[in-house]
Chain A
Amino acid sequence: MNPDYRLPHSQDSYGFGFLDEFAKREIRRVILKAISIPGYQTPYASREMPMGRGFGTGGLQLTLSMIGPDDTLKVIDQGSDDSVNAVNLRKFAELTCPEVSTTESTTEASLIQTRHRVPEIPLREDQVLNLQVPYPDPLVIVEPSEAKRKIMHGEGDYARLLTKLYEDLVKFDEITISHRYPTRINGHYVIDPSPIPRYDVPGLHQSRALLLFGAGREKKIYAVPPYTNAEPLVFDDVPFRTESFYTADGQRRACDRCGSIDSFLDELNLDDGSKAWQCSDTDYCNRQLARTEAGEATQ
């Protein structure tokens, strides 16, 4: 988007935050019910947004219905503030929410909208994380009827989902779900935590910040309240495993840019056919780099 772009004069009368007040009020009611029933996919109307469904409209509607002039917004896409989805959604918020500040810093943000990652730096109680969700229902792979799925969710009946995981273990000796790992919230509902890597699933457990999930195309909002149990669905004798960043000889890979050995790494294919690893969370990477450089400067 052109950074100097302004809405045409005929559209200049949109209200703050683009959504009309009735749309905001409905989403606000749904958010409160979603928090009250942790993990339950609460249906809502999902208004048309000036971008296709599937481009983060669910997360964006959450953000726009709660944002105010006192807020500082951060938008990330796969951990990065500078990739195309994040840049465009942030521009849209800047365009439609005058007075709102935007930031790339995790610690300065009061609202964080994210696609497919949870920030590396643990969140605080005064922050809210809005996750963009493509597919909200983890049961859809085992039951095509939504009416039946709703009853299964209500009863906390996830036997068929566990069978699917068991079949994976029989066939591959490993649960083959790499992202969107089914996670049980407060001992009842199982959610699709959006396509975050397995690495981020433990970060949902007893989070200090409210986590909200918005699925715009599927018209669902659900929540993981602060200090709430979020347990990946596993078997007693097969513990949950996250992505391993160890080399064959047992070395933890470091980020090629900042040298960090405690972050989630993206694997990059370089032009010469070799591979490189880099932090997926760009804000975290920049912080580590600044810390290293400051350390070198004082020596």
Chain B
Amino acid sequence: MNNPLTTEQHNSVWSPLYQQRAFRALMSAFSFPGRRQSLPLCSDATGPTCIAAVLCDNEVSLADPDQLIDSADVRRLGIREAGVTNAGFIVADGSQAPTFEPALGNLAEPEQGATIIIRVASLEDSNDFPLILQGPGIEDKQALSVNGLNREWLAERTRWNRNFPMGVDLILMDDTQVVALPRTTRISGGTN
């Protein structure tokens, strides 16, 4: 039996142990929307590649309009590249306003709604962008600060998610941390 602790290079983003630990961070992020979760340290990838390596393979499609994932990593993932309108996963730069219409799923198959991985400058506390979150996974209210997220994202997210159960799920990430915003999370504040 392969022992993950003795497998070499377990700080590689491609190693099963890294992917298990990163998945648990993502699962906690989705369970508790708005709470920052640290991704485990890895030696050979940064940014959205860390999440794509955990969740994507040749069974899903990915759109990377802003080219945030290295083309060698895209090949290594064996992923099907697709247009933003029908990709299962979309990687985007949060500083730019979204200019696309992602897949929202349909009434019988709402899980076909896209997962959008948004790269932002920082998820550390900052008064620049205080948001109040409510919904499943949040006991009362949860504050979220984020730097480098174009405000258009929140307006578009509200529009995409207006017909539950259809919608999109967002993962915000900076260099080391992730925050998930599933479609059930209601966001107030921040828009002025």
Chain A positions near chain B (C-beta within 8 angstroms): 7, 12-16, 21-22, 24-26, 28-38, 40, 42-43, 66-70, 95-96, 98-99, 125, 128, 147, 150-151, 154-155, 186, 188-189, 210, 225-229
Contact = CB atoms under 8 A, between A and B. Distances in A.
A42 B55 CA distance: 16
B110 A66 contact: no
A165 B111 CA distance: 30
Closest 6 CB pairs of A and B: A154-B107, A36-B182, A150-B108, A228-B136, A33-B111, A68-B20
A66 B1 contact: no
Contacts of A95: 1
Contacts, number: 128
A195 to B, nearest CB: 24
A68 B109 contact: no
Nearest to A20: B16
Contact of B136 (A33, A38, A40, A67): A38
B146 to A, nearest CB: 19
Given A226-B137, A228-B136, A15 B16 contact: yes
Contact of B169 (A32, A66, A68, A147): A32
Given A32-B26, A40-B110, A22 B1 contact: no
Interface residues of B, number: 41
Nearest to B136: A228
Interface string B10-33: 000000110111011011001110
A99 B138 CA distance: 33
A113 to B, nearest CB: 15
A151 B184 contact: no
Contacts of B31: 35, 210, 225-226
Contacts of A26: 59
